[in-house]
Amino acid sequence: MRIGIGYDVHKLVDDRPLILGGITIPYPKGLLGHSDADVLTHAIMDSMLGALALGDIGKHFPDTDLKYKNISSIKLLYYVNNLIINKGYTIGNIDSIIIAQEPKIFPYIDKMRNCISKTLNIDIDLISIKATTEEGLGFTGRKEGISSKSICLLNKKIE
């Protein structure tokens, strides 16, 4: 059994779609980043990679590599999952949280869980996504950005 933690943050800007957990959420701003800047999926990938001491997403998908420019983070999640499988592990569960003052995330949580579970080819009940605000405090409270945290439990495959 291995446990990893992940964290990501991106700035909110005009003229970008807001993508969280592989889902486009209607909002006047989106997250700035080299890829689609999906903070939830980035945090999940980092927690998976961290559980096996495989570095972070910057190591695997550097922002200096043009092949990752505007790429869907769901595609990157699929790649990370294959790394985990090839190391002989399966996902026990993922618990994550999105920190954002706006927009309200709750209406999209089931769609995000479904997208991630399909990408990872695991039961949706193994994925928890929660959302919170910071009561107007900090950069997320001032609506300057969105952050996400994730923890992942990996189990060694029994053969």
In the annotated binding site, the residues are 8-10, 34-35, 42, 56-58, 61-65, 132-135, 139, 142
- In 3-state terms the chain splits into helix, strand, coil percentages (rounded to 5) of 35, 30, 35
Distance CA 148, CA 159 (A): 34
Cβ atoms within 10 Å of 114's Cβ, excluding its own: 15
**What are 146's strand-pairing partners?**
10
Q: Identify the DSSP state of 105.
A: -
CB 35 within 8 A of CB 61: yes
Which residues are part of a known binding site for a divalent metal cation?
Answer: 8, 10, 42
The two tokens of residue 95 are: 């618990």
Sign of the dihedral through C-alpha 143, 146, 32, 111: negative
CB 21 within 8 A of CB 115: yes
